[in-house]
């Protein structure tokens, strides 16, 4: 089983079991509220592929879970947690996780060139008077501080092969001996001189009030970013924040690089909700029109029509979809001076126009008679509707009303103004309803749901992505937001 799956599921389980909210905690044993100041960061070997870091408090979490989940659901969560821990080689026995864990954890993965599976390093802090024996529960006692210990369970899986306890109650455990030794070596160097630790601390300063953060360098897996073909550097990270609302998990991801001054403040103005965001449109896409037609159901006629329209216009479009109805808005005075009448696919269609409130409404329709095996039949083609002002054209597969035009007009002009004046790249995608959120956007869920089997099903209810770039910026501003529901 691929460790990418295990890591993702383990992170999710930690978020579920430990909770996401900042809860009250004994002042005498409080871990730092600022995640950038955690001592655990000193155990970071170089060249990590992903890094998950958390300082979530474990106090009162059990009572919170009882409020949200029924008894059977809580039992399923516990079963999943225990299964993941068992695969890793951890056996808590009669101990409770919240009685051992002391509010600091990092999970890092690394490429293993010799095997088709990533290496993993987990570092977490335990409470006083707790030790390795409380975590592994082997028949023989093995705990000894500052000693590298080999994990062995006869006839059982244990992905983690080595474990180590420091004098300050940090547990280091890894699938790789060298990885664990590198982490210990890093901790003995002055943190102020280790460039990687300094850089991570600077990045984390952007997220002082966050408690669960995932860093990843695997930018090629991101379909939207990868389509832009920008040249990523070794200091580019996608940072994902984990938050919870009832049974929903909200993932917010940012592309950041402190050396290029792309930090969290760069995103303050682009992630605000707009009128269209709050409307009932299941799909809202600006600019990325050609790829967007794959997100909703179109018949062959509609797909051919929209592809031809896109090729002729060569400009930014706004696409709105509600159920099986779609609406496109574009600048009428485009450089190619394209009109619907000029499209090849509508060339033989009948059209009728009517003026109303400074708009010209037109219907394109086509009904013909055909003969098949000496039988005359009527072929009815899909209708296309449009509404045109002196500046804009609205195109839809249904009749467009004045209310809808007024709703989207202001926002489209705002999109258009900002894009034309500031950005050569400006795209926005909002997908609501799992039917429209294809797995390329949340591909990890397929593996995760397979792993969780019949106990829990996780599915996306909303996906949002925004990407912008202007000259002379070397990297785009990229933000995505995924709402996951647990059932």
Reference 286, options 400, 417, 387; nearest CA is 417
162-165/149-150 β-pairing: antiparallel
Between 333 and 150, the more confident residue is 150
Residues with Cβ within 8 Å of residue 229, at least 6 apart in sequence? none
pTM of the model: 0.81
Per residue in 241-293, pLDDT (tens digit) is 888 777 778 888 888 876 666 667 777 777 776 666 667 788 888 876 666 77
State the residue range of the domain holding 34. Answer: 3-216
Q: What is the mean pLDDT of residues 452-460?
A: 68
Residues 9 and 149 in one domain: yes
Residues 181 and 280 in one domain: no
Residue ranges of alpha helices (H) inside 319-364 are: none
Structural domain ending residue among the three candidates 216, 247, 264: 216
Does a structural domain hold residue 106?
Answer: yes
Does a structural domain hold residue 221?
Answer: no
Residues 115 and 46 in one domain: yes
Residues 282 and 212 in one domain: no
Residues 172 and 305 in one domain: no
Residues 191 and 48 in one domain: yes
Contact 58, 214 (CB under 8 A): no
Angle between helices 3-18 and 61-68 (to 10 degrees): 90
Phi, then psi, of 173 in degrees rounded to 5:
-140, 140
Range 181-189 contact pairs with CB under 8 angstroms and sequence separation of 24 or more: 181/148, 182/45, 182/46, 183/43, 183/44, 183/45, 183/121, 183/123, 184/43, 185/45, 186/42, 186/43, 186/44, 186/45, 186/46, 187/42, 187/43
Per residue in 347-399, pLDDT (tens digit) is 889 999 999 888 999 999 998 888 888 888 888 888 999 998 888 899 999 99
Per-residue pLDDT for 295 more than 80? no
Contact 343, 308 (CB under 8 A): yes
What is the pLDDT, as a whole number, of residue 109?
84
Angle at 210 between CA 205 and CA 215, to 5 degrees: 70
Torsion of CA 467, 471, 473, 478, to 10 degrees: 0
58 pLDDT band (50/70/90 cuts)? low
DSSP string over 269-317? TTS---HHHHSS-SEEEES-HHHHTTSS---HHHHHHHHHHHHHH-S--
Residues 177 and 312 in one domain: no
Does a structural domain hold residue 237?
Answer: no
Structural domains in the chain (count): 2
Structural domain ending residue among the three candidates 195, 216, 237: 216
What is the pLDDT, as a whole number, of residue 434?
67
What is the pLDDT, as a whole number, of residue 162?
92
Residues 201 and 305 in one domain: no
Residues 280 and 427 in one domain: yes
Does a structural domain hold residue 125?
Answer: yes
What is the pLDDT, as a whole number, of residue 142?
86
Residues 167 and 35 in one domain: yes
Mean per-residue pLDDT of the chain: 77
Does a structural domain hold residue 71?
Answer: yes
Reference 466, options 421, 417, 392, 415; nearest CA is 415
Does a structural domain hold residue 144?
Answer: yes
Per residue in 193-237, pLDDT (tens digit) is 567 777 788 888 888 778 888 888 766 666 677 665 566 677 788
What is the pLDDT, as a whole number, of residue 29?
42
- What whole-number distance in Å separates Cα of residue 478 and Cα of residue 487? 30
Structural domain ending residue among the three candidates 216, 233, 253: 216
Residues 206 and 328 in one domain: no
Hey, is 132 helix, strand or coil? helix
Residues 68 and 155 in one domain: yes
Does a structural domain hold residue 22?
Answer: yes
Reference 61, options 244, 186, 227; nearest CA is 244
What is the pLDDT, as a whole number, of residue 1?
47
């Amino acid at each position: 089983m691929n460790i990418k799956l295990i890591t993702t599921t383990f992170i999710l389980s930690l978020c579920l079991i430990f909770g996401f909210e900042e809860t009250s905690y004994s002042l005498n044993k409080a871990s730092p509220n600022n995640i950038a100041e955690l001592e655990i960061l000193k155990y970071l070997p170089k060249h990590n592929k992903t890094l998950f870091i958390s300082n979530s408090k474990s106090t009162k979490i059990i009572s919170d879970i009882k409020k949200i989940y029924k008894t059977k659901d809580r039992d399923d969560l516990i079963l999943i947690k225990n299964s993941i821990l068992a695969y890793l080689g951890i056996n808590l026995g009669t101990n409770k996780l919240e009685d051992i864990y002391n509010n600091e954890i990092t999970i890092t993965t690394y490429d293993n060139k010799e095997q088709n599976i990533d290496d993993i390093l987990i570092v977490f802090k335990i409470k006083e008077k707790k030790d390795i024996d409380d975590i592994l529960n082997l028949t023989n006692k093995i705990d000894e501080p500052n000693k590298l210990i080999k994990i062995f369970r006869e006839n059982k899986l244990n992905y983690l092969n080595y474990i180590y306890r420091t004098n300050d109650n940090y547990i280091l455990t890894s699938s790789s001996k060298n990885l664990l030794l590198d982490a210990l070596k890093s901790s003995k160097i002055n943190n102020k001189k280790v460039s990687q630790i300094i850089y991570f601390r600077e990045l984390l300063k952007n997220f002082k009030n966050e408690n669960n953060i995932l860093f990843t360098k695997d930018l090629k897996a991101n379909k939207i970013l990868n389509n832009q073909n920008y040249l990523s550097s070794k200091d580019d990270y996608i940072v994902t924040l984990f938050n919870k609302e009832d049974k929903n998990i909200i993932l917010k991801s940012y592309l950041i690089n402190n050396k290029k001054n792309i930090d969290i403040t760069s995103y303050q103005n682009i992630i605000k909700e707009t009128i269209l965001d709050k409307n009932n449109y299941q799909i809202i896409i600006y600019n990325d029109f050609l790829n967007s037609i794959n997100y909703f159901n179109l018949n062959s006629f509609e797909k051919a029509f929209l592809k031809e329209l896109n090729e002729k216009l060569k400009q930014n479009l706004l696409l709105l979809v509600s159920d099986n109805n779609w609406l496109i808005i574009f600048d009428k005075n485009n450089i190619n001076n394209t009109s619907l009448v000029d499209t090849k696919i509508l060339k033989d269609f009948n059209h009728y126009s009517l003026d109303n409130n400074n708009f010209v409404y037109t219907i394109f329709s086509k009904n013909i008679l055909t003969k098949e095996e000496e039988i005359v039949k009527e072929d009815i083609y899909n209708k296309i509707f449009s509404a045109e002002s002196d500046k804009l054209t609205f195109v839809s597969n249904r009749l467009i009303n004045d209310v809808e035009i007024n709703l989207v007009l202001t926002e489209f002009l705002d999109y258009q103004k900002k894009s034309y004046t500031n950005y050569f790249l400006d795209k926005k995608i909002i997908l609501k309803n799992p039917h429209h959120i294809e797995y390329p956007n949340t591909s990890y869920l397929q593996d995760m749901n397979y792993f969780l089997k019949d106990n829990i099903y996780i599915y996306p209810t909303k996906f949002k992505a925004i990407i912008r770039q202007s000259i002379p910026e070397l990297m785009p501003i990229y933000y995505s937001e995924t709402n996951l529901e647990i059932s």
